[in-house]
Structure 1
Amino acid sequence: MAIRRVSSEERLTTSFVLGAYAFEASPRSARRADEFRGYLPYNEGNRTLIVEEDGAPLAAASAIPMRQNLRGAVLPMAGVAGVASHPLARRQGHVRTLLHQLLDEMRDEGHTLTALYPFRPSFYARFGYVGLPKPRTVTFSPADLGQLLGADLPGEVGWERIGTGYPVWREFTERLLRERHGFATFPDYRDVGLRDRDERWLLTARVGDVVTGVVTYRIDDHGGELAADDLLAADPYARALLLQFFARHVDQVERISVQVPADELPELWLTDLAVHVEARVARPGSSAPMARLLSLDALTGLPAGPGRVRVELAGDRWLTGSHLLDGTTGSLELLSGSGVDAAAPSATLTAAGLSALAYGVLDPVEVHLRGLGDVPPDAAVELRRIFPREVPYLFADF
């Protein structure tokens, strides 16, 4: 039994086959194997590892070299995907072994963060991952947007297929990557699949030559649903311009659905807007994302509040030791060693506990309640100053 890296056409008979059985309807027709070939260009830069025995693949896992915004810093992030086992080889530790090696390699290459969508959150919690908010699906009738039809809004909208408008969409997501905490983007070789499939309309909001919002969507049928992907807007005017365009479909579709970040409040968009907001999390098939720090280098230099605390990191493969976290200058500094400022409040954290604080998803008290660390009250005060709560928006769905 051995672990090795596969690339290019080897994926056709290894990781793609295992992934198709794990995540698709099966059995599929023989033509499905031919369709796999079309996926190769969009996986070319991934790192894919397999466990095999006598030449037969037993398990596979891939990492996509991505980038993510952590509290204003854009850092290399390993997006873990395609984790699958042969049905006769499950629960034998193959995935655990693969993930250890995969994350070791990605960390060695400089990826300081990692994120994924879990098949079972508790499984990945053992690897130090912590949950992130799932985007909300907002559903409403286009008739309820009628008050926007007469609104005089600054700017204008553009409308085209994503196949031609892709450069504009990509440029705007790059802007949000720099501006939005938690935002992540695929590498170019993966993202162009959206352009090449050309299965969406692209709607843009502009003020002069500046793009202020984008959203992709499709319509399933006359009298059906206008299903939009993530509504990405730089400000309320841009959001209103995009919704104003959707209002013009009142005699074409019955309902509109759109994805929004967890901190968006659609019920306050308009008066008399009857809206259903849902974030459904279930397993298998409808999971919220998870993420973690792979290296403490991710924290160095982050914007931070004026806190000062010692943390002892315990029980993790990648984050260990005693460190002083100092945000008194407004830029987080890390000093290592058990003797560093022994007078500072101290806490013991797991990797998931520290990751939860860095991503802004848990308060220090919640970290303690969740069993992700021992956080005395004085240390909680300092950690809360260093890492104020902030809602991350992962955006990329892999």
Structure 2
Amino acid sequence: MESTIRKLAEDEFLDFANIAIQAFPANKENTPEYKEKLAANLRRIHEESGTIEFYGLFRNGQLLGGMRLHSFELNLFGNIVPVGGVGLVAVHFLHKKEKVAKELIGYFIRHFREKGASIAMLYPFRPDFYKKMGFGYGTKMNQYKIKPDSFPAGGSKEGLAMLGEADKERIRDCYNRYAKKTNGMILKTAYDIEALFKNPENRILGVFNGDEVSGYIVYGFEQADKQNFLRNNLVIREFIYETPDALASLAKFLNTQSDQIERIILNTQDDGLEYLLGDARDGSDYLIPSVFHETNRAGVGLMYKIIDIEKMIGDLEGRVFGNVSACFSLLVHDSFDTAAPVTIIVRLEDGKLSKGKAEYSQFNIELDIADFSSLMVGAVGFRKLHRFGRLKLSKPEFAPLMEKAFQGDEKPICTTPF
């Protein structure tokens, strides 16, 4: 049966809200009042954000599913490029296993490819489901549960201040300066900052350097024990700092919270936090044999897919591949998009990537689009994929050269939920 995918009309958001509520079992709300409230909120985002749009899939005029599309600007090794994101992929409860989600994701990829993006991104409800569609893993997220006095106390509290709506532009400027220096970060829009202040649970502490904010944390609280309201954790929702001094000041603030706070919960893609902390243990007292103390939990989340390989070559203008020079053929399999592998000749000259010519190709690299995507955004190195058998190299003697080309990259960091 033929499907039509298009933007939702104003009077269709209530139907989509109902589908979204039924599609996710974790959502216990099912009242008419909640559906109206959700529909109104989604409609407002669609109309006001400027970067977020809602699309629905229709068959015989009936809405069977929908999704939220995000137009982002992302730092790809120092080059700010357009990318696409998708969220709230919801399928009518009575129409599962009818390829609704597959068609929605296919449209999402085509939509952003036509808009000139080389990368598509999503947070998976099941990583294996989207890996089969060609999305590769990004950088893991690590959850630390830290005693407040484990943060170093040597920084200065001078310049620390609680931030309010008058500081919106300073917060955005701080974040975007950091984002422009950090691979994988997505630039914040004015709408993003407005949303930060619409959540009444958010508290924002900043570090001033003159008139500029050079670092800040967005945080809230949660009870550590439901039976004892005096036991609480501090939950950090966003942690941005531009300089070691800004970090030291924020750490000083966190250190001073030990009289009322049991643990500071921090989700970060930095897996080396133990080098900052006095005690990185998470309080579980769990030992990993032989004697390794548990410091954090970790999980895969944000996934990437290269949706236009030729466009990606231009987008990677800022990446230096180990000053390596070589010419080789890439054979990339994407069973979601096409039956035959895509073949492209690429050239590295002193670490700079460009298209090459077939007659100069020295060897072949063959791999799946999911692994290729992880490799190209810097989430994984060539050596690991090769050792795990996730890529084939036609001439093994070139392995050291390719390992050098893809080693030491800054893994993509992304703090944007969508």
For normalisation by structure 1, the TM-score amounts to 0.87
The alignment covers a number of residue pairs equal to 385
Q: Take 1:340 and 1:154, find their aligned partners in 2: how far apart are those partners? A: 63
Give the partner amino acid of 1:66. Answer: F
Residue pair 1:154, 1:237 contacting (<8 A) in 2 also: no
| Alignment-derived partner of residue 293 in structure 1 | 306
| Alignment-derived partner of residue 208 in structure 2 | 206
1:51 CA drift (Å):
2.0
Q: Take 2:330 and 2:150, find their aligned partners in 1: how far apart are those partners? A: 53
| Alignment-derived partner of residue 20 in structure 1 | 21
| CA offset digits 1:158-188 (Å, max 9, x no partner) | 2124x44332222222112211111124544
1:235 CA drift (Å):
3.1
Q: 1:195-344 counterparts in 2 under 5 A? A: 195-220=197-222, 222-263=230-271, 265-272=272-279, 274-275=281-282, 277-281=295-299, 288-296=301-309, 297-300=311-314, 301-304=317-320, 305-307=322-324, 308-316=326-334, 317=337, 321-335=342-356, 339-342=358-361, 344=362
1:132 CA drift (Å):
1.1
Percent identity (aligned): 20
Give the partner amino acid of 1:258. Answer: L
Q: 1:81-230 counterparts in 2 under 5 A? A: 81-145=87-151, 148=153, 151=154, 153=156, 156-161=159-164, 163-185=165-187, 187-220=189-222, 222-230=230-238
Which of residues 22, 41, 44 in structure 2 aligns to 1:41?
44
Q: Take 1:186 and 1:8, find their aligned partners in 2: how far apart are those partners? A: 27
Q: Take 1:256 and 1:208, find their aligned partners in 2: how far apart are those partners? A: 28
Are residues 289 and 21 of structure 1, via their aligned partners in 2, closer, same or farther at CA, if it must alter by over 3 Å?
Answer: same
| CA offset digits 1:115-161 (Å, max 9, x no partner) | 1111111221122211112332221222444x61xx35396212124
Give the partner amino acid of 1:158. Answer: A
Give the partner amino acid of 1:393. Answer: I
Q: Take 1:170 and 1:7, find their aligned partners in 2: how far apart are those partners? A: 30
Are residues 356 and 79 of structure 1, via their aligned partners in 2, closer, same or farther at CA, if it must alter by over 3 Å?
Answer: same
Give the partner amino acid of 1:159. Answer: M
Q: Take 1:299 and 1:154, find their aligned partners in 2: how far apart are those partners? A: 45
Q: Take 2:43 and 2:190, find their aligned partners in 1: how far apart are those partners? A: 14
For normalisation by structure 2, the TM-score amounts to 0.83
Which deviates more from structure 2 when the two are superposed, residues 290-299 or residues 41-50? 41-50
Paired residue secondary structure (2:343): strand
Residue pair 2:119, 2:305 contacting (<8 A) in 1 also: yes
1:198 CA drift (Å):
4.1
Q: Take 2:371 and 2:397, find their aligned partners in 1: how far apart are those partners? A: 17
| Alignment-derived partner of residue 396 in structure 1 | 416
| Alignment-derived partner of residue 406 in structure 2 | 387
Give the partner amino acid of 1:295. Answer: D
Residue pair 1:66, 1:185 contacting (<8 A) in 2 also: yes
Give the partner amino acid of 1:391. Answer: K
1:60 CA drift (Å):
1.5
Give the partner amino acid of 2:81. Answer: L
1:273 CA drift (Å):
5.5
| Alignment-derived partner of residue 284 in structure 1 | none
| Alignment-derived partner of residue 289 in structure 2 | none
Unmatched runs of 5 consecutive residues or more in structure 1: 282-286
Give the partner amino acid of 1:302. Answer: G
Q: CA RMSD in A?
A: 2.7
Which deviates more from structure 2 when the two are superposed, residues 17-26 or residues 132-141? 17-26
Residue pair 2:46, 2:54 contacting (<8 A) in 1 also: no
Residue pair 1:66, 1:187 contacting (<8 A) in 2 also: no
Q: Take 2:255 and 2:301, find their aligned partners in 1: how far apart are those partners? A: 30
